Structure 1
Amino acid sequence: MREQSRIFADREEAGRELGEALGGLALDHPAVYALPRGGVPLAVAVGRRLKAPVDLVLVRKIGAPGSPELALGAVADGAEPFTVVNPEVKRMTGASDAYLERARAEQLAEIERRRALYLGDRPRIDPRGRTAVIVDDGLATGATARAAATALRAQGAARVIIAAPVAPPDTVAEMEAAGYEVAVLEQPQPFFGVGGFYRDFHQLSDEDVVRLLAQDAAD
């Protein structure tokens, strides 16, 4: 949306700016879905700006063998969990189907833990007929966001937008070429990782997520 890259103070500032940008779009019946943990403070700010409810979309990255930070793929929660695999990373790392299935099962178990901890008896937001806005603090490969978008489409969302403050231009181009609608504030090149575009990029805890969701529910 802007040509000049910049550094965000923290996730809250980035969320406010992302909310302002999204507020300029004609979004019909929006709901905001955070990718936890990092996307939660941004999603709360976006939801406040759009006057939209906030929920979580529970997706876990599947790390490559020997390189857990490298996204081999991702798995999204749902009645039938949906898995996205990056074929180039699979080829490059030699990840076997057996490895992929073991890693998928581990991440689904973590999704179950997070659902119970973060959401408890909090009502879920049904995406059917809504504009589902998926929010994260940044996109690198985009595998997690793509899995989330596919899951929300399968659940009946009328429109799905993947929104983040920062992402590399090649990731945005690939996602758009694959038919995903993307709203990104900054597309820096070169791109050295999401955290490099925040002054404060501390790791959020489970307790932070629970607190932010509780604050959102009280507003």
Structure 2
Amino acid sequence: MPILFQDRRDAGRQLGSLIAPQVTAEAVFLGIPRGGVPIADELSRHCQRPVGLMAVRKLPIPDNPEMGFGAVGPSGVVALNTAVMAWAGISEAAAAAVRTAVLEEIRRRLAVYDHQPANLAGRSAWLVDDGLATGYTMLAAIRECHALHAASVQVAAPVCHAEARARVQQEAPVYCLHTDYGYSFAVASFYARFPDLEDNEVVQALATARAEARALPDMAP
């Protein structure tokens, strides 16, 4: 697969040129932690709109945690891949137990980050991640934004698998620089540098945004 971006911030700058004409005065960029945050931060700089978080998380298969069967948002809203659940033999009770555990991790992250919107009424929410592989995490994020009364929801990601893009576009417009149709898709393969990010890097990016008056003002306590 071709290397399209030097790193996430390079991807954010390239993505900014694509979406800028669509960004309104009510827009806010919400990065999905952790990888979506530096991209959302670059979009915030490019478009001069506020930046915050949307802390949704994958629901991992108990016996294969690298693979997910959906995602959950802070309010408990979910997007479930029922086909994977059936394939992996995940019962409703098992799914509920995983959801509870993941919500605990989301609460931990929110306590560290402190940049989750409490209300998006009147806002045009731009959800940002470093790539769409299956799309279920983004679907949970879209549904979370609707639960927070966003006026509109858009998705921005540098790279997408075609199936994930089609899935997400059923619920929100998707702006993507490269759509891949290959069987073997990995978001990291399109980046020259794609390190795992730590909590402190997310916190620092958001602290800088706050210092530059780019942080979303109506944060949850």
- 1:60-81 Cα deviation digits (max 9, x unpaired): 1001232212220111013xx2
Identity %: 37
In the other structure, the counterpart of 1:195 is: 188
> Structure 1 residues 34 and 5 mapped into 2: Cα distance closer, same or farther (>3 Å)?
same
SS in 2 for 1:69: strand
> Structure 1 residues 162 and 87 mapped into 2: Cα distance closer, same or farther (>3 Å)?
same
Q: What is the CA distance between 1:28 and its match in structure 2?
A: 4.5
Unaligned residue ranges in structure 2 (runs of 5+): 213-221
Contact 2:118 2:148 in 1 (8 A): no
2:91 is the counterpart of 1:99: no
Matching residue within 31, 35, 43 for 1:34 = 31
Query: Normalized against structure 2, the TM-score is what?
Result: 0.90
Whole-Å Cα distance in 2 between the matches of residues 124 and 55 of structure 1?
A: 7
Q: What is the CA distance between 1:158 and its match in structure 2?
A: 1.1
In the other structure, the counterpart of 1:72 is: 69
Q: How does 1:11-30 map to 2 (within 5 A)?
A: 11-30=8-27
> Structure 1 residues 103 and 125 mapped into 2: Cα distance closer, same or farther (>3 Å)?
closer
The one-letter amino acid of 2:198's match is: S
Q: What is the CA distance between 1:6 and its match in structure 2?
A: 4.6
Whole-Å Cα distance in 1 between the matches of residues 96 and 145 of structure 2?
A: 22
Q: What is the CA distance between 1:127 and its match in structure 2?
A: 1.3
Matching residue within 78, 83, 99 for 1:88 = 83
- 1:24-80 Cα deviation digits (max 9, x unpaired): 2153510111100001100100111121111111111001232212220111013xx
In the other structure, the counterpart of 2:200 is: 207
- Aligned-residue CA RMSD in angstroms? 1.7
Q: What is the CA distance between 1:7 and its match in structure 2?
A: 2.1
Number of residue pairs matched? Answer: 211
Q: What is the CA distance between 1:175 and its match in structure 2?
A: 2.0
Q: How does 1:24-173 map to 2 (within 5 A)?
A: 24-78=21-75, 81-119=76-114, 124=117, 126-173=119-166
In the other structure, the counterpart of 1:7 is: 4
Query: Normalized against structure 1, the TM-score is what?
Result: 0.91
Whole-Å Cα distance in 2 between the matches of residues 131 and 23 of structure 1?
A: 13
Contact 1:132 1:159 in 2 (8 A): yes
